[in-house]
Amino acid sequence: MLRQVELIEKVKSYDPFVEEELLNKAYVYSMKAHGSQKRASGAPYFSHPLEVAGILADYKFDSKTIITALLHDVVEDTSKDLKDIKINFGNEISHLVDGVTKLSKFEGRSAKFNQAENFRKLLLATSKDIRVLLVKLADRLHNMRTISHIKNKKKKQKISYETLEIYAPLAERLGMQEVRSELDDLSFAVIEPEIRDSILQRLQLLRQQDENVLQQTIKKIEELLDKKKINAKIFGREKKPYSIWKKMKVKSVNFSQLSDIMGFTILLNEIDDCYEVLGLLHQKYSYVPGRFKDYISTPKPNGYQSLHTTLIGPINRRIEIQIRTLKMNDQADLGVAAHWIYKEKVEKNDGKQYKGIQQILEILDQSKEPEEFLEHTKLQMYTDQVFVFTPNGDLISLPRGAMPLDFAFSVHTDIGSNCIGVKVNNSIKPLYTKLKNGDQVEILTGNENVISPKWLELSITGKARACIKRYLHLKEDEELKKLGKEIIVNQFKNQKIRFSDETIKTILVNFNLKDSDDLFLKIGNGDLVSSKIILSLYPEKSLTKSNDKIILLNEVKQKRQEKKSILLQGLTPGMSIHYANCCNPIPGDSVIAYISEGKGLMIHVDTCEEVRKIKINKSKVIDVRWENFRHKKKDFVAKINVIITNKIGSLGSLSSIIGRSMSNIRNLKITDRNNDFFKIDLEIDVKDLDHFNKVLVSLRTSEFVENVSRL
């Protein structure tokens, strides 16, 4: 644990103008406030804020950030309040501490709701001062470094998933790749320990095999640059286990099929040197087409700059090379922290500097519910990115798999709302086109808002989906208001009672409603029954049974709740369906429903060969998609073919991996066997496509598995 004098000296080493008296005061204040509190490890609780302060001091952040780190848990976990913080440390630090302090739990609300509200508060505070997020990231980093002391497995998993899905991507948004990489790997070690250990073993084997390759490659490149008298630092780098696992999932390949596990970085003094070295390498070695990226001329949104290329290198091996200046390298590893290290002026709430944070705030602005905002944000941050261009050459980053509507809403909400078509690379394309790196995208617009429910299937980004849902909610609300007004007016008319503005005012007071829109909406959606309104105004009235039919509007709500439980949207509740054995669709697959004579409604994967063979009558096809399937406990059958090495223990290993992945083998058939390999067809239980892909990746990390494919 850092001593008081050590922390002060550490900060003074890079900040001669440190507020030493205030820093000393914060140290003592926090230590006394936390008193005898203990961490899960048994260490004094004060060791945690002290370590968080130490992490931030390593990045050379200003003294107010360090003070906030020392105080960040005081309000949440001790008897001290923000008023006391303000009196002792001033407004600025009080606001920073408030930003990192969690909200009190909302009684009667779900854990997910509370998580979403806390995330919302953090983001709003971050938009005003980026240091709030810096303290929160350092806090999470230390908690993950010490997570092994938590005994509750479910709690560890929950914290790790939250770290992987929210905090690690936030670190990347600030360009802090060092922090992101460590958070990723620490989370991965908790969530998938067996897979991570397997990858580490394979990496160790690869290091032993390729040790000479690494040194020979560096030596050859050094010789090439020395001839041109170019001063450079060259080093080999190895992908982290989590990064390797993600690549295996995305590319659906085995460990041995990955070509860029080992890479090389060349660091130079000037930008001109970067392009000169790139030219020399491309002259000397064959470069792999489609693998060159220039992030110097077009930096990533988080400020990352570098040249990336892939070559058939000095010893005829495919190698990935990154070329950048020393300063760019600091930016790549440290992100926003590099500005403090280089003592550059940093505007705390500069939206342009922290564009990634502003994009999330735009999602927040459009989202109706906290949980919806959280889900949209996870998707926006967690997925890999593609980089596309506007007709003016502006760079837009989007999640991989994004479509034109995602691009349109990213540029501006009005452009998205009025989109009637798209040009990709000067050619008219359908709205379901998946955008690729380097595409130039032009959105064609009309004069009117043309949003439809179908657009939810043509978009994946948080902002686009939040905007579309917001519009659809507003449109639905307008229709319900019209319905509600019609119902109440007719009910009064049937009772031969005058319905006037004065009547509305009385109803608003009686039922504590804001305005007439609120009244009509509540009647329209079934929250308020018109007969109840009349009885509140005229208790002597005896409503006839026929007039009480209005109560049936409550069924509207019930039907909506039923709809939420349907696994496939587009079908009537209770409809008899069958999942086709030819393709075994699972939740997450793109599917169609086909009315088959003598069999009923069959659900197929839309790429199923059997579907292509059938001359489908379009009138028999129903447009369906999965909905709310992640909340279901139902198992689905997936068929796979696995090729494993013919060694002792290989079949047992296969079974163990599937079991550890929370799956079950329903059926197993060995289709071929020779001295080297088994070919096995398996039927396994899975929850959805994500679960299925997790099983595949787990299998691909095994040294016994040569290939896995879906049948």
pLDDT digits (tens, 9 = 90+) for 513-526: 888 888 888 887 77
**Of 30, 23, 33, which Cα lies nearest the Cα of 79?**
33
- Give me the DSSP letters along 200-265: HHHHHHHHHHHHHHHHHHHHHHHHHHHHTT---EEEEEE--HHHHHHHHHHHT--GGG-S-SEEEE
- Average pLDDT (538-552) is 51
Mapped onto helix, strand or coil, the DSSP state of residue 269 is coil
Orientation angle between helical segments 370-382 and 355-366, nearest 10 degrees: 150
- The reply to whether 437 falls in a domain is yes
- Average pLDDT (207-234) is 87
CATH number, domain with residue 245: 3.30.460.10
570 and 535 in a common domain: no
Residue pair 459/465 in contact (Cβ under 8 Å)? The answer is: yes
> Can you give the pLDDT at residue 509?
87
- The reply to whether 141 falls in a domain is yes
**What is the amino acid identity at position 461?**
T
> Can you give the pLDDT at residue 559?
41
Token pair for residue 483? 């319905």
- The reply to whether 524 falls in a domain is yes
442 part of the active site: no
Strands (E), 130-223: none
- The reply to whether 347 falls in a domain is no
> Can you give the pLDDT at residue 318?
82
Q: Rounded CA gap, 637 and 663, in Å?
A: 10
Q: Which of 510, 536, 563 is the last residue of a domain?
A: 563
CATH number, domain with residue 115: 1.10.3210.10
**What is the amino acid identity at position 683?**
E
* Segment among 29-38, 254-263, 441-450, 591-600 with least mean pLDDT: 591-600
Token match 């198992």: residue? 635
139 and 66 in a common domain: yes
**What is the amino acid identity at position 666?**
R
CATH number, domain with residue 665: 3.30.70.260
Q: Report the length, in residues, of the chain.
A: 711
Q: Which of 76, 270, 548, 606 is catalytic?
A: 76
More confident residue, 113 or 143: 143
Indicate if the pLDDT at residue 528 is higher than 50. Answer: yes
332 and 200 in a common domain: yes
**What is the amino acid identity at position 383?**
T
Q: Rounded CA gap, 525 and 421, in Å?
A: 34
Q: Rounded CA gap, 696 and 708, in Å?
A: 7
Residue 641 is given by DSSP the state E
> Can you give the pLDDT at residue 554?
40
Q: Which of 289, 311, 341 is the last residue of a domain?
A: 341
HEC readout, 495-521: CCCCCCHHHHHHHHHHCCCCCHHHHHH
First to last CA, the chain: 56
pLDDT-derived band at 552 (thresholds 50, 70, 90) equals: very low
Q: Which of 253-267, 279-293, 391-405, 530-544 has the highest mean pLDDT?
A: 279-293
137 and 50 in a common domain: yes
pLDDT tens per residue across span 152-207:
998 999 899 889 888 888 888 888 888 999 999 999 999 989 888 888 888 888 77
% pLDDT > 70, the chain: 81
- The reply to whether 324 falls in a domain is yes
Residue pair 300/355 in contact (Cβ under 8 Å)? The answer is: no
- The count of structural domains within the chain is 6
Q: Rounded CA gap, 670 and 629, in Å?
A: 32
pLDDT tens per residue across span 78-91:
999 999 999 999 99
Q: Which of 517-531, 554-568, 622-636 has the highest mean pLDDT?
A: 517-531
165 part of the active site: no
Indicate if the pLDDT at residue 77 is higher than 50. Answer: yes
**What is the amino acid identity at position 612?**
R
The count of C-alpha atoms lying within 13 angstroms of the C-alpha of 58, restricted to the half-sphere facing its C-beta, is: 13
Q: Rounded CA gap, 268 and 627, in Å?
A: 51
- The reply to whether 158 falls in a domain is no
Q: Rounded CA gap, 405 and 426, in Å?
A: 17
21 and 145 in a common domain: yes
> Can you give the pLDDT at residue 374?
56
- Average pLDDT (567-577) is 54
Indicate if the pLDDT at residue 598 is higher than 80. Answer: no
337 and 225 in a common domain: yes
Indicate if the pLDDT at residue 144 is higher than 50. Answer: yes
> Can you give the pLDDT at residue 561?
42
Q: Rounded CA gap, 36 and 44, in Å?
A: 7
Mapped onto helix, strand or coil, the DSSP state of residue 554 is helix
Residue pair 2/54 in contact (Cβ under 8 Å)? The answer is: yes
* Segment among 105-114, 181-190, 230-239 with least mean pLDDT: 105-114
Q: Rounded CA gap, 583 and 606, in Å?
A: 9
pLDDT-derived band at 68 (thresholds 50, 70, 90) equals: very high
- From the number of C-beta atoms within 10 Å of its C-beta (0-12, 13-18, 19+), residue 139 rates as buried
125 and 12 in a common domain: yes
% pLDDT > 90, the chain: 23
- The reply to whether 15 falls in a domain is yes
> Can you give the pLDDT at residue 405?
92
Q: Rounded CA gap, 692 and 589, in Å?
A: 11
**Of 78, 59, 71, which Cα lies nearest the Cα of 99?**
71
Q: Rounded CA gap, 68 and 96, in Å?
A: 6
Indicate if the pLDDT at residue 445 is higher than 80. Answer: yes
**Of 564, 575, 482, which Cα lies nearest the Cα of 520?**
482
- From the number of C-beta atoms within 10 Å of its C-beta (0-12, 13-18, 19+), residue 516 rates as middle
Mapped onto helix, strand or coil, the DSSP state of residue 45 is coil
pLDDT-derived band at 556 (thresholds 50, 70, 90) equals: very low
Residue pair 8/24 in contact (Cβ under 8 Å)? The answer is: yes
60 and 16 in a common domain: yes
What's the domain range around 489?
A: 470-563
112 and 33 in a common domain: yes
* Segment among 236-245, 257-266, 338-347, 632-641 with least mean pLDDT: 338-347
The CA–CA distances, whole Å, from 471 to 116, 366, 414 equal 22, 9, 12
- The reply to whether 477 falls in a domain is yes
pLDDT tens per residue across span 664-704:
888 888 888 877 788 899 999 998 888 898 888 888 888 78
Helices (DSSP H) in 291-369: which residue ranges? 326-334, 337-341, 355-366
521 and 476 in a common domain: yes
Token match 């967690």: residue? 382
Q: Which of 202-206, 227-231, 465-469, 659-663 has the highest mean pLDDT?
A: 227-231
More confident residue, 262 or 557: 262
270 and 143 in a common domain: no
> Can you give the pLDDT at residue 574?
46
pLDDT tens per residue across span 374-383:
555 555 554 5
219 and 86 in a common domain: no
- Average pLDDT (564-570) is 48
- Average pLDDT (435-458) is 83
Q: Which of 446, 466, 486 is the last residue of a domain?
A: 466
Indicate if the pLDDT at residue 656 is higher than 90. Answer: no
CATH number, domain with residue 454: 3.10.20.30
